[in-house]
Structure 1
Amino acid sequence: MLVSWLVLSCLAVVVPVSALVVWTDPGSPRSLSGRLSAVWRTSAETLRLGAPTGAPMRMALSVLLGIVALLCVSTLVGVITTGLGERLAELRRGRSMVLEQEHAVVLGWSEQVFTVVGELVAARGGARCVIAVLADRDVAEMEEALTASLGRGSAVRLVCRSGSLTTVDNLALVTPRAASSVLVLPSEAPDADSEVVRVLLALRAVLGDETGPPVVAAVRDRRQLPAARLAAGGRGTIVETDATAARLLVQSARRTGVGEVLRDLLDFSGAEFHLVDVPPALREEPAGSRFGDLLLCFERYGVVGLLGPDGRPRLSPPPDTVVGTEDRLIVIAHDGVPQAPVDCRAYVDPAAFAAPQPEHTGPVRVLLLGWNRRAPLLVEALRDSVPPGSVLDVVVDETQPVPVQDQACSPGATARLTVSCRSGELLHPESLKNLDLFAYDTVIVLGADAVDGPGHPDDRVLVTLLMLRELELRAGRTLPVVAELGDHRNRALAPLGPASDVVVRGELTSLLMAQIAHNPHLAAVFGELFAAHGASVHLRPAHHYTPPGCEASFATVVAAARDRGECAVGYRRTDSEAGTGPRHELRLSPAKAERRVWNEGDEVVVVANDSAGPGRPPGTLDAVPGMRHDRGDDPALSGGSPGRQSPHDCPAQDRTRGVDGTTG
């Protein structure tokens, strides 16, 4: 029917117009038969039917050939159009092979993907790079979301492919064998860890036993760590997300600002960890180079440790440690460009050293509002760090069906930390008023898991923070609060006080994965830095190193920290005259010659060793948060360690920051 109407429509237009053209042509034949023949030739040429004249049979055969030619051409055009349409549809579905070399491959989709992709782009320093993302989602949606997160002007080429991650054929689409690194992200599904293990097995089948790119994966449950390590093989590094988030919460609870320092150290926009060789001039010392002397041998390097030839790091070793001939320096710097050694001892003023101060180690009181799957790990981290006699009060929502009492009050909890649990309406202001909030050293607010109930998991946390901030303003007192959020975009919405901080769930893990993917040789360094015991990042009051109001160089602070067995790498300045409360400025790896007046609220960023737990020698490494160590062992995943607490001389920030214990 459509073809018939199309033929009639064409004839209705072509024949009359051809007749009009012939009749208006002064050179057309005078006879009617001649003019009709001219109309036929014009119409035939227009319809591509040919223009032979003569016998009717000859004209009929010409029409037949023209129709056949028209059908063939139309069929060819249709075949080509259909093939192109199917190919474009296949490209839109993300089913074509990625023909790239040295690209980064990201497997999986979650809130972490935006941080991971952004850091992979930042690691290239503005150079052109290709990132291939494979997830079981629509390709157009993934490209639109990632482009909106990165910005239209970024120098990255995003290649998104859609399909199941556990299928070998789908993994082959992103050509992981030719990639520079492969990252496996866990989803928010309940069986996300099992899926990560299956993806690692499928990836192992694609890569084979040959040397391939480094693989970095993340799991939530520590019980899945052995299976994930076996599936990843020797090229894999496994990070445990929940344990990392729990320890970051505890670190932020013991002193506000630790999370900001770790974010700055792990992203690619500021100072990062680097490995540099010891300058030959320093190796030629007759008695050998000592670690303490190297702290003042570089103008802009913050030396924090040594990496032995066996790949085992030593962060913040004793100052008299002799540097081996094959040791490399672990430094914090804004770039990895080698620097010539500079003798910075002339900048040190011993008269500006602060007098030794005793440290308070009394028990602390912690209030935990909310409960989720990371809460038991948080309780365990607190138990390993707080002094004996400490108290943890847990308040959960009345509608929460989790057996909190059984999870929190596990065997051995009362030896160091007494835990009590009760239920209440956390979104009701009266419930918070009855808790005597200012009697606690710190308040920790946890959000619900992403799979628990409708709505956004951060909604309850934001409302709770709003009510806590209101109570803080009414009382005119500082309330130290640490909150956990799931979406980094909600950080700007959180109403925080001067002694409050926010930990974005999964953000630190994403930064850590991007760092290891870009610098696989630093995996062991991060393994010790975030272990349950050993060296970790701390914020110490500046008056531990130089008296308040004293003008001194940063080299003086480094020397004073060296005498305390610590490595100073930066400082956090506080501007108490800001109109909206204290304003902080973080500076990492400043020049040793930089001089400033150190105020009461200033803090120094140091890398220091925590004291070892009972029966544990100093420097023993744990596998938490799950990263593989080069020495190949798999030590215990937890342990106890009595903590230390810094004196609190700045009421605006440190009055109740009592948990300054030893979690990595």
Structure 2
Amino acid sequence: MYKKPSIKERLKYKFDNTLSRGTIALIFWLAIFSILIILIGALLFTFARVELEGEKLSFFEATWQTLMRTVDAGTVAGDSGWTFRFIALLVTIGGIFIVSTLISILTSGLENKLDDLRKGQSKVLEKNHTLILGWSEKIFPIIEEIIKANESQKKPKIVIMSEKDKIEMEDEIRSRLLNTKGTKIICRTGNPLELSDLPIGSPNEARSIIILAPEDRDADTYVIKSVLALTNNPDRKKEKFHIIAEIGNEDNLEAAKLVGGDEVSYVLTSDLVARAIVQSCRQSGLSTVYTELLSFEGSEIYFKYESYAVNKRFFDISKIYNTSTVIGIKDKEGNVTLNPQKDRLFQEGEELIFIADDDSTIVLDTIQNLEINNENIREKAISKNPQEKTLILGWNEKGSKIIEKLSNYLYEGSITTILSEQDKTKEDIEKLKEKDLNQEIKIIKGDTTNRKTLEDLNITSFDHIIILSYDHLEFRKAEAKTLISLLHLRNIGEQRNKHLRIVSEILSEKNKRLAEVSKADDYIISEKLTSLVVTQLSENKSIKKVLDDLFDAEGSEIYLEKAADYIKINIDLDFYTVLESAFRKNQTAIGYRINAEKNNPNKNYGVVLNPKKSDKINLKEEDKIIVIASK
């Protein structure tokens, strides 16, 4: 039979609810108990007609004496008279209980608060910071680049919010990044997908937001939901966000764009790496050029309006900057043209696109009436091999994209051979059969680390070799296979006195030093390349169109061409001469590569971008000129 709760039970229930509210509620009840003890003690002193120093205690004096004995237990030692002592002792015992309980409550509350702070769930009250949502291995090169970009800023800050424990994040950052150069790094624990957690990172106050994809198969879904949580948050700011996010699968890009609109710049990671691999396998040293352009060390890309250049030809503008290199124009609508026609006029409201060490080095040259010695310029046409043989060792999700991108550069009759231990390779190639690939594809199943298998392929007959990391293997095993294949190839080339043009995909920058032992022509470090692009976009959204053009086969690309096709070799001449020769081929020269230094990391593998044009250089037969061209 149902029985209604008694008054006692209801009061106990309400009391328990009050206590569960935390430290403040406990202190409130403790204060009430203290007042009760003081009042009861004062009443006892008053009604017992206790005297102190020959005078009877009034109620107010009794209250004061009770308060003193509640707060300070030592006061009772000076009391006299047994009635007085007895009441004072009871009050003192009550005081000891209250004070000890108060200390316990404060200690417990402080510990709880410290635990909350350690959990990293308190809101960040920063402005103009870079907010990174999510956590992956890419976060370390991203932080490194942001630190470099922030060196000229006052009190720069990076806020990181992910589901990872705050203490673990801080420990990993401290162990991997020894010098933050004044940049404050703040870690918080929270779920970027939860509207209730997003305010922790203060996204409305951030100057840019980077969303990192987690290292699992549902990465794109996570990224799209994170963008949705930001852009459709009812508490979001009215101004547009500046968001940069990773997308792994091109099939998800359209859905992502619908969610983010023009507030988000997406980096299609697999496509980016595939394009870089294809271009680098055909242009030895290209990965070093990209690394320098995308890093905040050395030469970078800048946009700047120059009133002096208005109504001048691009050809003439390029010659008036000695310490920086003009590579293109950004028009009034924000469209980018790299390596424009040399007669293209620069208009009011447009911006020039520079390669420079710093924006402070973009200054007009004082040199007047440049005289170019035409005898030092060669007009030789650049010859190309119409049919090429490419070897791909290994296979992963980027393999199909690489085959497709290669077709943009190959002539009909070219052959691409794939050596892979995966059955999936054949399945992926079958899906490409309906496309015009400009190449015959041969698939050989075998071990890419087996010396005999490699030698049977007649390695030296291939024009280009690409090594891909297997994605079905554990990370360390995949990297180990790549390194072993590299060492075998280099040894085969040395034995047969043949230089092999090899580009290798390296998953982590940690293994770059090991890979350098093999002296491969180029390394495409997947996480590093993606991190550099993400960081550049976080600092300057406009650079996306420049990068899209450079990585697109239909646009302007970077090429490393034989110096002997441009200038006389083995003589001293300035870079103005190189610039003039490139213009005559409708190209823009941006640097050169010294072949003798191609394996020297301390010399940037021989790559020199944006050289001072007035300085003399002496290029040799094997050296290269770095140009931007449309072919």
Assess same fold via TM > 0.5: yes
Q: Aligned to 2:440, which of 418, 441, 457?
A: 418
Candidates 501, 504, 516, aligned match of 1:483: 504
Once residues 561 and 394 of structure 1 are traced to their aligned partners in structure 2, the CA distance between those partners, rounded to angstroms, is 36
Partner of 1:117: 143
Q: How does 1:220-239 map to 2 (within 5 A)?
A: 220-239=248-267
Seen in structure 2, the aligned counterparts of structure 1 residues 257 and 139 have a Cα distance that, compared at 3 Å, is same
Aligned residue number for residue 365 of structure 1: 389
Question: Cα distance, 1:528 vs. partner?
Answer: 2.0
Say which of 425, 434, 437 aligns to 2:456: 434
Aligned to 1:553: 574
- Please report how far the alpha carbon of residue 116 of structure 1 lies from its aligned counterpart in structure 2 after TM superposition: 1.2
Mapped contact 1:529–1:536 kept (Cα < 8 A)? yes
Q: Are positions 1:249 and 2:277 aligned together?
A: yes
Give CA-to-partner distance per residue, 1:338-388, whole Å, 9 cap, x none.
412445652522210024134123211111111111111111111121121
Structure with more of its chain in helix, by fraction: 2
Contact 2:598–2:606 at 8 Å: present in 1 too?
A: no
1:49-448 equivalences in 2 (<5 Å): 50-125=76-151, 127=153, 128-152=155-179, 154-206=181-233, 208=236, 210-280=238-308, 282-283=309-310, 288-337=311-360, 338-343=362-367, 346=370, 348-397=372-421, 400-407=422-429, 410-412=432-434, 416-448=438-470
Alpha-carbon offset, residue 409 of structure 1: 6.1
Q: Is the 8 A contact 1:363 1:389 kept in 2?
A: yes
TM-aligned CA distance change 1:258 to 1:579, over 3 Å: closer
Contact 1:466–1:495 under 8 Å retained in 2: no
Q: 1:201 to 1:153 in 2, by over 3 A?
A: closer
SS class of match (2:240): coil
Contact 2:151 2:181 in 1 (8 A): no
Look up the equivalent residue of 1:233 and give its one-letter code. G
Instruction: Tell me what 1:6 maps to.
Output: none
**Shift, 1:126, TM fit:** 5.0
- Equivalent positions of 1:479-558 (< 5 A) are 479-498=500-519, 500-558=521-579
Pair 1:359–1:572, CA change in 2 (3 A): same
Q: Residue 385 of structure 1 aligns to which amino acid in structure 2?
A: Y
List runs of 5+ in structure 2 lacking aligned partners: 1-69
Q: Which moved more, 1:78-87 or 1:401-410?
A: 401-410
Whole-angstrom distance in 2 between the partners of 1:582 and 1:515: 24
Quick one: distance in 1 between partners of 2:369 and 2:418? 50
Question: C-alpha separation between the residues in 1 aligned to 2:469 and 2:177?
Answer: 27
TM-score (norm 2): 0.84
1:239 deviates by 1.3
Secondary structure of the corresponding residue to residue 169 of structure 1: coil
Q: Secondary structure at the match of 2:126?
A: coil
SS class of match (1:361): coil
Instruction: Report the alpha carbon displacement of residue 313 of structure 1 after superposing the two structures with TM.
Output: 0.7
Cα distance change of structure 1 residues 496 and 440 upon mapping to structure 2, 3 Å threshold: farther
Distance 1:345 1:602 in 2: 29
Once the two structures are superposed, what CA deviation does each residue of 1:104-154 show, in whole Å capped at 9, x if it has no partner? Answer: 001111121111111111111254311001111111121122233331452
Q: Which whole-Å CA distance do the structure 2 matches of 1:457 and 1:49 have between them?
A: 76
CA distance in structure 1 between the aligned counterparts of 2:408 and 2:135, rounded to whole angstroms: 34
Moved more, 143-152 or 581-590: 581-590
TM-score by length of 1: 0.80
Question: For 1:329, what is the secondary structure of its paired residue?
Answer: strand
Summarize the Cα distance change of 1:495–1:329 in structure 2 as closer, same or farther, 3 Å threshold.
closer
**Do the aligned partners of 1:345 and 1:555 also contact (CA within 8 Å) in 2?**
no
98-107 vs 85-94, which deviates more? Answer: 85-94
Residues 411, 184 of structure 1: alpha-carbon distance in 2 compared, 3 angstrom cutoff: same
Please give the residue correspondences for 1:558-597 in structure 2 after superposition, counting only pairs within 5 Å. 558-575=579-596, 584-597=605-618
For 2:241 and 2:371, how far apart are their aligned partners in 1? 45
Deviation at 1:508, TM superposition (A): 1.8
- Residue aligned with 1:211, SS: coil
What is the distance in 2 between the residues matched to 1:580 and 1:522? 27
In structure 2, how many angstroms separate the alpha carbons of the residues matched to 1:119 and 1:415?
37
454 and 528 in structure 1: CA distance in 2 versus 1, 3 angstrom threshold: closer
Q: Does 128-137 or 345-354 show the bigger shift?
A: 345-354
Inter-partner Cα distance in structure 1 for 2:417 and 2:492: 19
The share of aligned pairs that are identical, in percent, is 26
Q: Judging changes above 3 Å, is the alpha-carbon distance between structure 1 residues 268 and 581 closer, same or farther for their aligned structure 2 residues?
A: closer
Maintained 8 Å contact 1:575/1:583? no
Distance across 1 between alignment mates of 2:538 and 2:604 = 34
State how far apart, in whole Å, the 2-side matches of 1:79 and 1:349 are. Answer: 87
- 1: CA distance, partners of 2:550 / 2:597: 31
Contact 1:462/1:495 (8 A) holds in 2? no
Q: What's the offset of the Cα at 1:47?
A: 6.3
Amino acid at match of 2:350: D
Contact 1:542 1:604 in 2 (8 A): yes
1:362 is aligned with what amino acid?
P
Which residue number corresponds to residue 27 of structure 1? Answer: none
**1:495-527 superposed Cα distances (whole Å, 9 cap, x missing partner):** 455552110013222111111111123332223
Distance 2:139 2:71 in 1: 61
Unaligned runs of 5+ in 1: 1-43, 611-664
Q: Specify which structure has the bigger relative contact order, considering alpha-carbon pairs within 8 angstroms and separated by 6 or more residues.
A: 1
SS of 1:431's partner is: helix
SS of equivalent residue, structure 1 residue 183: strand
SS of structure 1 residue aligned to 2:114: helix
Between 1:376-385 and 1:459-468, the stretch displaced more is 459-468
Aligned partners of 1:95, 1:577: CA distance in 2, in Å?
A: 49
Single out whichever of 344-353 and 261-270 deviates more from structure 2: 344-353
Q: Which amino acid aligns with 2:348?
A: T
- What amino acid is the match of 1:445? I
